[in-house]
Amino acid sequence: MASNSISKASELKNCLVNGFKSFRHLKQTHARLFRLGLDQENHLLNTLLGYCFQFRKTNYSNLIFSHTQYPNVFLYNTMIRGFVSSNLLEDSIGYYRLMRSNGVLPNSFTCPFVLKACAGILDCDLGFQIHNFAIKLGFDEDVYVNTSLVSMYVTCDDLDAARQVFDQMPERNIVSWTAIISGYIDAGRFQEAVGLFKSFLEMGFRPEGPILVQILSACAKLGEVETGEWIHGYISLNAKGKNVMVDTSLIDMYAKSGQMEKARTVFDEMPEKDVVSWT
């Protein structure tokens, strides 16, 4: 009898590893966890919760969590991340507050998702509190935490705080560079944005479409045709960043600087054109 239970438990764990074909399959597996007395195993429940969010069954994820006696940091993280991914940002922050009130310490994986939620609902005060808390916990050197802080401060229109975090980062990734450059462009500080973009390239990063569109717009507004032409040359050599939006931005930059022949050349060489590029 005991060996039969062990066999069923092993089979069930394999099922969790291999995933679920449907939400019905997930519910059946959850019921089997109860029957086998495995319904309080956090590592098994964590897998169930993850799939609940994949199936967009947030109510069922709430149900599973509410019946868990001692949820650990991993379960809280899955709930926080799942609600952020589902764009239910208030719920995500609610689980963060519950986590703190129950004495469960966040880890470095918690902070980026909560900061994203704070930015999404403009809860800048909570974002600032999390920043201070992250420093106390020693997460201030984590690239993902810092990148989320930069994005949060940019969204909250606190560009000075965003730049301070950015400058103190021991390691930066393409997302953190894009966030700070976008922040300067949105604030109308185009000269600083272009300067940062040049530093970004000097560090060996390869920009993609969205940041190229923004920086070309900044060049157009500054009249920085020389920089824009250099970026055009860079794009020609690195097809990774080339798309219809980038080409349209090049046309706009050349047109605004009075270089209509170059604008026409870009237009004629476009493999595909949209309404904006035609107009």
Measure Cα distances from 114 to 110, 152, 192, 220 in Å. 6, 10, 29, 36
203-261 pLDDT per residue, tens? 988 887 788 888 898 888 888 888 888 888 888 877 555 678 888 899 999 998 888 99
Biggest alpha carbon–alpha carbon distance for the chain: 85
Q: Higher model confidence: residue 127 or residue 237? A: 127
> Whole-number mean pLDDT of the chain?
89
Tokens representing 59 are 């109510």
The yes-or-no verdict on residue 124 having pLDDT over 50 is yes
Question: Would you list the domain boundaries of the chain?
Answer: 194-278
pLDDT number for residue 1: 39
pLDDT above 70 coverage of the chain, percent: 90
**In the predicted model, what is the mean pLDDT of residues 50-79?**
97
pLDDT number for residue 142: 96
Rounded to two decimals, what is the model's pTM?
0.84
Residues 6+ apart with CB under 8 A from 197: 181, 207, 211, 215
Q: Which of 103-112, 168-177, 244-253 has the lowest mean pLDDT?
A: 244-253
Backbone conformation region of residue 273, classed left if phi is above 0, alpha if psi is from -120 to 50, else beta: beta
